[in-house]
Structure 1
Amino acid sequence: MPLHMHFGSEDLLRIRFAVSPLCETHEAVRTLRRADRHGYHTPWLRRVRATLAGLDLTPLWLFMPSPGYTPDFLGRPPDSPLAGFDEELARLRATDPELARAEMAKSLACTPGALESERGRATLDDPAGAIRELAEVTERAWRALLAPDWPRLRALLEAEIAYRSRQLAGGGLQRLFADLHPLVSWAEGTLTVRPRIDFVQVQQLDGRGVLLLPSVFVWPDVVSAFDPPWQPTVIYPARGIGGLWSRPEAGPALARLLGANRATVLAALDAPSTTTALAHRLGLAPSSVSAHLSVLRDAGLLSARRQGHHVLYERTPLGIALAAGD
């Protein structure tokens, strides 16, 4: 059943995008337990399987009922568009214990028996201690599951924001929300989200606007969350997830024309990317990838534009035609 988010004039001025490594960490933890999320992420799951043997995620899983409510403070909306993990973790550690207790009680109530369990009672009796434990488990999960791949994930998420920003500039909210997700729609000043949870809710945004948070691991869902004091947020799957964990291969004709590595770099740019992310994905030295990108750009096959502190490369129409023609 849907969530209807009614926009006023002030809300239209407060639509923003952000990338959240903290949110991605928790979505990755959810992916480990839900078979319907494995799909695109099966190669990643195979790779982290050995790491999981020494990683106890029980304290986090206690507050991730499916379906059900996860405490908002665990993935509070980031203040800046490109927040760092350490910055977000520090904000998690600084959560008011009383607010955390109320949100944890709401979450535990979604799982039969959890409120009365020994762990549930201990958590609510010492919310400050629970915050510390959840922050420590989240940090371990980040370092084990996401940190090694973060340059690649961040590049994909930043490319998604750049794409959506161009949609907003070219066609307003109607175009922005037209293909954001099949379960998201926009009409007559109302954003409607149809999540997995069976409920109907109408939310007046009251000038708080909406944060749009692209995610790799939320796929195939779309999630809308965050009651006051948090900014309303829609977490949705970013474009380009399908090729995230695969190493692209150029066809023989393109390799003969450009050389094997240069052709592979062109083939890998099915979505905008940074030098660092491409190097990580292809297993090549950043200096080598940078040299290939310069040659391809000089040949008119790529364009480059700055996004925040990074430069994103993407194929031009000529580059697209050349890659597709192979």
Structure 2
Amino acid sequence: MPLTLRLGADDLTRCRFAISPLCQTHEALRMLRRPARHGYHRAWLRRMGRTLDGLDLSPLWLFVPRPGGYTPDFLAPPPDEPYPSIDGELARMRATEPALARAEMARSLACTPGLTESAQGRAALDDPAGAVRRLADVTELAWHALLAPDWPRHRAVLEADIAQRSRRAADGGLDDLLTGLHPAVDWAGHTLTLRAYADVPDAQLPDGRGVLLMPSVFVWPDVVSGFARPWQPTVIYPAHGMGRLHTTPAPRPPEALARLLGHQRAAVLTGLTAPASTTELARRHGLAPSTVSAHLTALREAGLLDSRRQGYYVLYARTALGDALADGN
């Protein structure tokens, strides 16, 4: 059955976005449990092959069941600020109350027959505080091995998604934002429905906690939600532009535009199909950040780009005039 979240007036005023490096780490781990769904991330997986061979993730695998199971929410709780650091999130994870950790671990183990009675399962439930410490330590190793080297690029994609959707909300309102999250998400009559769920109870939100919206690079092709107390209800959806993260080469601009602006500057303009930061554009085009910054300044002064600060970055997006030039119109 679908999962439904009925939002009152207070909930609608408390809808917010966030980016969580900890949640992204666990989404990457869950993707590794879905071998048939690697899709856009095959290049990343090939690059991570040797790293995975030398990384012992067995304590985490105990609580990352195959699709359909439950992963404890304390492993990656919804962030309480828009742009938390990985150190802050790991500290929050390590501070999990043992009773809460035990309840969530018991629920997760019960998803796999025999796992609760296994030696590893009994050890975790007998010493939940120790289990939290071990799981946090392994998660920190997974972060540094799997995500940290690429995090600036990942974060740029996630921030660009938030900027694009925020602009959509500004243009079309909250209805337009929520209906465009994912093909499996419906929004009507103050009810947000995730159609991909089975055997999930209907959810009410009577206390005005709102909904946290988090773009993800690794959740594709699904959209997932967590709403068990004490965490804020959360919807994690695939980010715009994630398909180009590892595989898309630098764009080739139209010849006429390259003659007008110069090849590099035209390529920067043409490649801005979604908002991006100077760092992301420098990596994408193989240019020095100072060179990209000079191109962006010139394009912005010509009225072809807008810029806005998002967290630690300034994101650049084409104006209507920039779109017309890039599209050859």
Shared topology, TM-score over 0.5? yes
Q: Counterpart of 1:24? A: 24
Q: Counterpart of 1:231? A: 232
Q: TM-score under structure 2 normalisation?
A: 0.93
In the alignment, structure 1 residue 305 sits paired with structure 2 residue 305: no
Q: Counterpart of 1:320? A: 323
Q: Counterpart of 2:47? A: 47
**Equivalence map 1:241-280=2 (5 Å):** 241-245=242-246, 246-251=248-253, 253=255, 254-280=257-283
**Equivalence map 1:111-122=2 (5 Å):** 111-122=112-123
Question: Identity percentage over the alignment?
Answer: 66
Deviation readout 1:191-215 (Å, 9 max, x if unpaired): 1112344434232342211111111
Deviation readout 1:12-47 (Å, 9 max, x if unpaired): 221111111110010011122313431111121122
Q: Counterpart of 1:61? A: 61
Are the aligned partners of 2:161 and 2:240 in contact in 1 as well (CA < 8 Å)?
Answer: yes
Letter in 2 for 1:122: A
Are the aligned partners of 2:6 and 2:191 in contact in 1 as well (CA < 8 Å)?
Answer: yes
**Equivalence map 1:93-112=2 (5 Å):** 93-112=94-113
Are the aligned partners of 1:273 and 1:312 in contact in 2 as well (CA < 8 Å)?
Answer: yes
Mapped to 1, the partners of 2:60 and 2:285 lie a distance apart of: 33
Q: TM-score under structure 1 normalisation?
A: 0.94
Mapped to 2, the partners of 1:59 and 1:283 lie a distance apart of: 39
Mapped to 2, the partners of 1:88 and 1:225 lie a distance apart of: 17
Mapped to 2, the partners of 1:250 and 1:107 lie a distance apart of: 48
Are the aligned partners of 1:5 and 1:205 in contact in 2 as well (CA < 8 Å)?
Answer: no
Greater Cα shift, 37-46 or 98-107? 37-46
Q: How far off its partner does 1:133 sit?
A: 1.2
Q: Counterpart of 2:10? A: 10
Mapped to 1, the partners of 2:324 and 2:14 lie a distance apart of: 38
Greater Cα shift, 29-38 or 17-26? 29-38
In the alignment, structure 1 residue 210 sits paired with structure 2 residue 208: no
Q: Counterpart of 2:89? A: 88
Q: Counterpart of 1:184? A: 185
Greater Cα shift, 247-256 or 107-116? 247-256
Mapped to 2, the partners of 1:111 and 1:264 lie a distance apart of: 51
Are the aligned partners of 1:22 and 1:88 in contact in 2 as well (CA < 8 Å)?
Answer: yes
Mapped to 2, the partners of 1:263 and 1:157 lie a distance apart of: 24
Letter in 2 for 1:249: P
Letter in 1 for 2:12: L
Are the aligned partners of 1:152 and 1:277 in contact in 2 as well (CA < 8 Å)?
Answer: yes
3-state DSSP of counterpart to 1:227 = coil
Q: Counterpart of 2:80? A: 79
Distance of aligned partners of 1:292 and 1:23 in 2 relative to their CA distance in 1, 3 Å threshold? same
3-state DSSP of counterpart to 2:267 = helix
Greater Cα shift, 268-277 or 293-302? 293-302
Q: How far off its partner does 1:255 sit?
A: 4.1
Deviation readout 1:122-181 (Å, 9 max, x if unpaired): 111111111111111111111111111111111111121122222323333321112111
Q: Counterpart of 1:285? A: 288
Are the aligned partners of 2:253 and 2:263 in contact in 1 as well (CA < 8 Å)?
Answer: no
Deviation readout 1:69-121 (Å, 9 max, x if unpaired): 11011111101111111111110111111110100000010111111111111
Q: Counterpart of 1:38? A: 38
Mapped to 2, the partners of 1:35 and 1:318 lie a distance apart of: 43
Letter in 1 for 2:39: G
Q: Counterpart of 1:168? A: 169
Mapped to 2, the partners of 1:197 and 1:150 lie a distance apart of: 33
Q: Counterpart of 2:142? A: 141
Unaligned runs of 5+ in 1: none
In the alignment, structure 1 residue 152 sits paired with structure 2 residue 153: yes
Are the aligned partners of 1:157 and 1:238 in contact in 2 as well (CA < 8 Å)?
Answer: yes
